[in-house]
Amino acid sequence: MSANRWEPFRDMITLREAMDRFIGENYRPVGWRATTMPICQLPIDVYVTDEDVVITAAVAGVDPEKVEITLEGDTLTIKGEITGPLENVDYLLQERAFGTFSRTLRLNIPVQADKAEASFDKGVLTLTIPKQEEVRTKTIKVSTKE
């Protein structure tokens, strides 16, 4: 026989979790504007190394030359468009998101915009933006007096 401890807070769910259950996870990627133009949510990952801020974005199906990246101060914007479905085709299933996307985020870290680099590999856009010198991690050696 095992005894289970009752944890009342574990059973409580957030409003967002309740809405996710109600609507379903498959609805989340595509939204609709008032103009009925589909818009896509651009999934991104951001991480920081000692020297750089690195942003990766999944942009499969987008021509790399048609992705617009702007960096103004510490505000980064990535814009583009994923082409829509084929015309005159009756789809049995259509799950891939399409339409325009625009993602803006504030880095909150001073960066060197003029040294930023972007690469595109297998549908993943990678931005590498060097940090300003004054915010880079510095290691200080401790000396002892003998």
Question: Averaged over 51-74, what is the pLDDT?
Answer: 89
| pLDDT tens for each residue of 73-128 | 888 999 998 887 888 888 888 877 778 888 899 988 889 999 999 999 998 999 99
| pLDDT tens for each residue of 11-50 | 566 666 766 666 664 454 444 444 445 556 788 999 999 8
Which helix (DSSP H) or strand (DSSP E) does residue 18 occupy? helix 15-23
Pick the closest to residue 38 from 87, 68, 95, 82 (CA basis). 82
Domain residues of the chain, as ranges? 29-86+95-134
Question: Averaged over 53-80, what is the pLDDT?
Answer: 90
CATH architecture of 29-86+95-134: Sandwich (2.60)
Q: Can you give the pLDDT at residue 46? A: 94
Q: Can you give the pLDDT at residue 82? A: 83
Q: Can you give the pLDDT at residue 79? A: 92
DSSP code string of 54-87:
EEEEE-TT--GGG-EEEEETTEEEEEEEE--PPT
